[in-house]
Amino acid sequence: MGLSYEFSIGSVRAKEKSLLNNSDIEQMIACKSESELAGLLNDKGYGDGNTVDEILEFHTEKVWEYLKSIAPDFDIFTPFLIQNDIHNFKVVLKGTMSARKYSHLFIRPCTIDTELIIKAIENKKFSLLPEWLSKSAENAYELISHKGDARESDAVIDTAAMKRMLEISGRYNSEFLKQYFNTLVFYSNIKTVIRSSRTKTNKDFLDSALCDVQDFRKGSIINAALKGNEAVIDELSRYSEYECSKAIEQYKISPSLFERFVDDKLIKMAKESCKRTSEGAEPIIGYYLGSEAEKKVIHIIASGIRTNSDSETIRERLREIYG
């Protein structure tokens, strides 16, 4: 008998209680060393390992094992896993070009077998890859091998991934999933535009690097970006879509505050939609996103400890959590 969403949601609601809360975070911020932080995570049963990175890797594996065991339709996570596929493709491509080892950098789970990616790149047989990726993969290879343009190579692959994520998320009967990926792609575009406006990128690059998504005014934004950073910031500050004007106000204070605003917006969407429903796949997706959010918080705290940042500075960098 297959799993039911009723069972899965009940399991996830119980599992959510183990997610980090504000008290847990304060305890982590109080740690004086990375080893002390690792010890605290071990004591809380977060994961096994001698370092924070080892513990996070262990925890990630366990989260995916759990999700596979309770999700009636694991394919619902495909749009998220595409990000791992793209990471792995870039790792193999750049590792091959530089003759450096890369297998330790792979992220799993993924939808494309890493051995297939290796075979496609090493033999220049990009038709081995899924149709949504094959042509872009070939273009990315040509850009980095013949032109040495890693940035444009990345952009070609990223755009293919964003299109695929939008396509797949739109297939499911989940308004949250559609809106989540629309927002994710919208802000990926915004980040690209802002970076490009500072480096005086040409129109051809922007045309290929930006992904069409609902309520993204591609033509107007490209025209503004070509005029420079000040012009594009002024243009974006007028847009209410996806709370863009609020995000840009944060950017004007600090780019890091802009990044935090975007991360917080995405997790708030999950809290509002996934925590409040008692049917469908959203509660399971919400637990996954909550797990990812707390991993980011742990990374930020660990980074702050390594750089001897004071507790207030660390708190200013933290993202909102799901728990």
* Alpha-helix residue ranges (DSSP H) falling in the chain: 5-15, 22-29, 34-43, 52-70, 78-98, 114-122, 131-146, 150-169, 175-199, 203-209, 218-227, 229-236, 244-253, 255-274, 282-306, 311-317
User: Model confidence over 64-106: pLDDT tens digits?
Assistant: 999 999 999 999 999 999 999 999 999 999 999 888 998 899 9
Q: How far apart are CA 290 and CA 56, in angstroms?
A: 14
CATH number of the domain residue 99 falls in: 1.20.1690
User: Model confidence over 166-224: pLDDT tens digits?
Assistant: 999 999 988 999 999 999 999 999 999 999 998 878 898 899 899 999 999 999 999 99
Q: What is the pLDDT of residue 2?
A: 64
Residue 258 scores a pLDDT above 90: yes
- 293, two tokens: 């959010």
Confirm whether 33 is domain-assigned: yes
Same-domain status, 300 and 270 = no
Q: What is the mean pLDDT of the chain?
A: 93
User: Model confidence over 281-306: pLDDT tens digits?
Assistant: 999 999 999 999 999 999 999 999 99
Amino acid at 168: I
Angle at 299 between CA 180 and CA 41, to 5 degrees: 110
CATH number of the domain residue 6 falls in: 1.10.132
Same-domain status, 44 and 21 = yes
Total number of domains constituting the chain: 3
Confirm whether 306 is domain-assigned: yes
Residue 1 scores a pLDDT above 60: no
Write down the pTM of the prediction.
0.92
Residue 157 scores a pLDDT above 50: yes
Residue 60 scores a pLDDT above 90: yes
Parent domain of 63: 1-67+295-323
Q: What is the pLDDT of residue 281?
A: 92
